[in-house]
């Protein structure tokens, strides 16, 4: 027996409301992240991730209230990401009831933030979120100098290249004190064509910390290959929200492929 | 079931109104259903009016521990008040982050003697995660040794596994005599998130009940039950229905704590 593969639904939350509808039967309020969190817990989710996409300070304040209510009703781990810039932001989220905090753009701008958070709260609270895109080869087939692995880090939902190599950044972030990597393929995201297995394998080879694979899931059968490629956990949003794949179906597929799951 | 909304807490943040009480009822109902469908048989009879203090010494998320304990029916107070910590029926010592930082927090709060005194007087104490680790003799973080409270023998060291931190739901292997795991079937998974742990060999011959788990061939302490002192490396407050059953079992021992003459003094172990 060993640690189970984690299946993690992710909710995008804007000013305390779930972005895009969620198509579950029997929900009183499909836009309430707390009610959804409880529903996913009941379905067997191993962890929950909230991504705060609020643009305003007011929206962020509302998010804290969502985190508080979730921590009071759902007794599985909760990661909150989006807009985390300082050690103080992390402190606020942990006090509200988050167990882990996702950091993305702010750590790219100032990598020292990773060490500061790890030193204060322990590396286990810090999930480095990585939005990765494959680079187009240059004329002649060689890869771009800033991303020799062929994978680059992006910001702004994949629209802006950060100018650094994704595999190097993953390795460096792990050395600086990241506890986990949330690896999101911006190429696969939304395609429902399966995870980017080469990307997962490349990051797995570079770091020893857990890797959460994200982006591209369309069917339950897409999940086991991500674990075979080296991921420790799988995260998805829309396929769960729209009821296209259930948590239980993903766990069935994983178990059938020989991976340990929590029932 | 306890109330989950804090009066007025939404308005201070300037956000939209909180869920109506009916919504909260619905959420709680779902949470209950989640617990009901899990493969856990609750045979524990809970004693009346057990008061538990969650020790607040500046370490991490205390809200989940408070609410998970309250869900057992216990009265729960999160406090740094040492008088309350000494007198409560049960004391919970949480902890996340670095061993040295947690011990510094315990020392700054002057909580060490209160915890030791409770154990000496056979008063129940539950340590969780790093709050479990600091009950041991010492912690070794990258060669820096920090003395712990010395209520359990052994040193907390970095996991030998390659994939560290150990994050996720792992199977716990509990002895048949365990009170904490009495209601949990074999194969139950609990939620771990840590890079360091204690090892069972240091506890051999103490009479302590040791529950272990395994990660990449590395077998380490998942829980210890030793007289009034219980510790869990995993987070019962984050372990869903399994964690809830374990907390109920602990609360039931709190209410029926044995006579003081069975206390284990640190120098007798």
* Whether the predicted pLDDT of B71 surpasses 80: yes
Provide, as residue numbers in chain B, all residues whose Cβ is less than 8 Å from the Cβ of A180.
165, 167
Residue A262 lies in a domain: no
Please state the rounded mean pLDDT for residues A170-177.
98
| Number of domains present in the structure of chain A | 1
| Nearest residue to B167 (alpha-carbon basis) of A8, A256, A107 | A8
Q: Is residue A50 part of a domain?
A: yes
Calpha distance B64→B62 (Å, rounded) = 6
Token pair 């995008």 is found at: A12
A156 CA: distance to closest CA in chain B (Å): 25
A57-73 helix and B21-37 helix, angle to the nearest 10 degrees: 40
Task: Output B237 or B11, whichever has higher pLDDT.
Answer: B237
Rounded to an integer, the average pLDDT of B226-231 is 98
| A8-34 residue pLDDT tens | 999 999 989 998 656 666 677 778 999
Closest CA to A28 of B35, B2, B27: B27
CATH number of residue A33's parent domain: 3.20.20.70
The answer to whether A259 contacts chain B (CB < 8 Å) is: no
Closest by alpha carbon to B58, among B129, B121, B24, B106?
B106
Query: A146 pLDDT band (50/70/90 cuts)?
Result: confident
What is the spatial distance between Cα A71 and Cα B243, in angstroms, rounded to a whole number? 14
Assess whether B190 carries a catalytic annotation.
Answer: no
Report the residue of B28, B30, B70 to disrupt the A interface, i.e. the one with the largest count of A CBs within 10 Å. Answer: B30
Given this model, what pLDDT does residue B79 score? 95
Contact B189 A4 (CB under 8 A): yes
Q: Which residue of B has its CA nearest to A95?
A: B61
> Which two structure tokens, joined as six digits, stand for A11?
């909710």
Average pLDDT over residues A131-160: 87
Residue B235 CA, chain-centre distance (Å), reads 6
- Asked, for residue A107, whether it belongs to a domain, the answer is yes
Q: What is the pLDDT of residue B27?
A: 44
The pLDDT, as a whole number, for residue B30 is: 47
Sheet holding B229-232, edge to edge: B75-79, B51-55, B90-93, B125-128, B229-232, B218-226, B209-215
What confidence score (pLDDT) does residue B60 get? Answer: 67
Cβ-Cβ pairs closer than 8 A, A with B, add up to 172
How far is Cα B260 from Cα A121, in angstroms, rounded to an integer?
Answer: 37
Share of chain A above pLDDT 70, in %: 96
- Burial class (CB within 10 angstroms; exposed 0-12, middle 13-18, buried 19+) of A144: middle
What average pLDDT does the segment A212-227 reach? 97
- What are the catalytic residues of A? 12, 131
pLDDT tens for each residue of B101-142: 899 999 999 999 999 999 999 999 999 999 999 999 999 998
Check pLDDT > 90 for residue B203.
yes
Average pLDDT over residues A87-110: 94
Q: How confident is the model at residue B81 (pLDDT cuts 50, 70, 90)?
A: very high
- A160 or A25: whose pLDDT is higher? A160
Is A210's pLDDT higher than 90? yes
Among chain B residues, the shortest Cα distance to A120 is held by B97
Contact A15/B15, CB-based, under 8 Å? yes
Q: Is residue A139 assigned to a domain?
A: yes
Specify burial of residue A120 (Cβ count, 10 A radius: 0-12, 13-18, 19+): middle
Q: What is the ipTM, given to two decimal places?
A: 0.94
| Domain that residue A81 falls in | 6-256
Does residue A163 sit within a domain?
A: yes
A250: in domain: yes
pLDDT, tens digit (0-9, with 9 covering 90-100), for B235-258: 999 999 999 999 999 999 997 764
Pick A145 or B169 by higher pLDDT.
B169
Within-domain flag for A261: no
Question: How many other CB atoms are there within 10 angstroms of residue B233's CB atom?
Answer: 29
Is pLDDT of B19 > 50?
no
pLDDT at B13: 36
Cβ-Cβ contacts under 8 Å, B220 against chain A: none
Specify whether the CB–CB gap between A215 and A233 falls below 8 A: no
Q: Which is the catalytic residue, given B66, B129, B215, B225?
A: B129
% of chain B exceeding 70 in pLDDT: 77
More reliable by pLDDT, A261 or B5: A261
d(CA A96, nearest CA chain B) in Å = 7
Q: Is residue A28 classed as helix, strand or coil in its secondary structure?
A: coil
> Is residue B43 scored above 80 in pLDDT?
no
- Give how far A90 is from chain B: nearest CA, Å: 11
Mean pLDDT throughout A231-238?
A: 96
Residue B5's pLDDT band (cuts 50, 70, 90) = very low
Cα angle, residue A48 at apex, residues B79 and A161 outer, rounded to 5°: 115
Residue A103 within a domain: yes
Asked whether the whole model's pTM tops 0.90, one would answer no
Is B187's CB within 8 Å of A1's CB?
Answer: yes
Dmax (CA) of chain B: 58
pLDDT for the residue numbered B6 = 36
By C-alpha distance, the chain A residue nearest B98 is A122
pLDDT, position A24:
66
């Amino acid at each position: 027996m060993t640690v189970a593969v984690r299946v993690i639904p992710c909710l995008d939350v804007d000013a305390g409301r779930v972005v895009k509808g969620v198509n579950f039967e029997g929900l009183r309020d499909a836009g309430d992240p707390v009610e959804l969190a409880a529903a996913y817990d009941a379905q067997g989710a191993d962890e929950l991730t909230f991504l705060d996409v609020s643009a305003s300070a007011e929206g962020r304040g509302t998010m804290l209230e969502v985190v508080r209510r979730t921590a009071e009703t759902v007794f599985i781990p909760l990661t909150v990401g989006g807009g985390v810039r300082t050690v103080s932001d992390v402190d606020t989220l942990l006090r509200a009831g988050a167990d882990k905090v996702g950091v993305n753009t702010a750590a790219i701008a100032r990598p020292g933030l990773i060490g500061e958070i790890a030193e204060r709260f322990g590396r286990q609270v810090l999930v480095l979120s990585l939005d990765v895109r494959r680079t187009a080869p240059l004329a002649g087939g060689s890869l771009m100098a800033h991303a020799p692995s062929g994978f680059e880090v992006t910001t702004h939902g994949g629209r802006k290249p950060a100018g650094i190599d994704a595999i190097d950044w993953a390795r460096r972030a792990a050395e600086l004190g990241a506890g986990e990597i949330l690896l999101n393929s911006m190429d696969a995201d939304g395609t429902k064509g399966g995870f980017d297995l080469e990307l997962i394998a490349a990051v797995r080879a570079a770091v020893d910390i857990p890797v959460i694979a994200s982006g591209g899931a369309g069917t339950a059968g897409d999940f086991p290959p991500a674990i075979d490629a080296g991921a420790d956990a799988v995260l998805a949003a829309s396929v769960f929200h729209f009821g296209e794949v259930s948590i239980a179906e993903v766990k069935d597929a994983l178990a059938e492929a020989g991976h340990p799951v929590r029932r | 079931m306890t109330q989950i909304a804090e009066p007025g807490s939404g308005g201070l943040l300037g956000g939209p109104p909180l869920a109506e009480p009916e919504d909260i009822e619905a959420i709680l109902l779902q949470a209950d259903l989640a617990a009901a469908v899990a493969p856990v048989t609750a045979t524990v009879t809970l004693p009346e009016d057990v008061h538990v203090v969650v020790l607040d010494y500046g370490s991490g998320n205390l809200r989940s521990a408070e609410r998970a304990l309250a869900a057992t029916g216990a009265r729960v107070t999160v406090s740094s008040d040492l008088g309350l910590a000494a007198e409560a029926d049960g004391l919970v010592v949480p902890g996340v982050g670095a061993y040295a930082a947690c011990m510094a927090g315990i020392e700054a709060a002057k909580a060490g003697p209160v915890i030791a005194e409770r154990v000496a007087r056979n008063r129940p104490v539950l340590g969780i995660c790093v709050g479990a680790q600091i009950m041991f003799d010492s912690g070794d973080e990258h060669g820096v040794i920090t003395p712990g409270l010395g209520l359990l023998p052994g040193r907390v060291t970095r996991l030998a596994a390659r994939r560290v931190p150990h994050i996720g739901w792992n199977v716990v292997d509990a002895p048949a005599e365990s009170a904490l795991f009495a209601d949990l079937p074999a194969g139950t998974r609990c939620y771990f998130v840590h890079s360091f742990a204690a090892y069972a060999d240091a506890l051999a011959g103490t009479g302590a009940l040791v529950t272990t788990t395994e990660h990449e061939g590395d077998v380490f302490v998942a829980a210890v039950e030793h007289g009034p002192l219980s510790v869990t490396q995993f987070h019962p407050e984050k372990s869903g229905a399994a964690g809830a059953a374990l907390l109920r079992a602990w609360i039931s021992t709190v209410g029926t704590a044995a006579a003081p003459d069975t206390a284990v003094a640190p120098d007798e172990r």
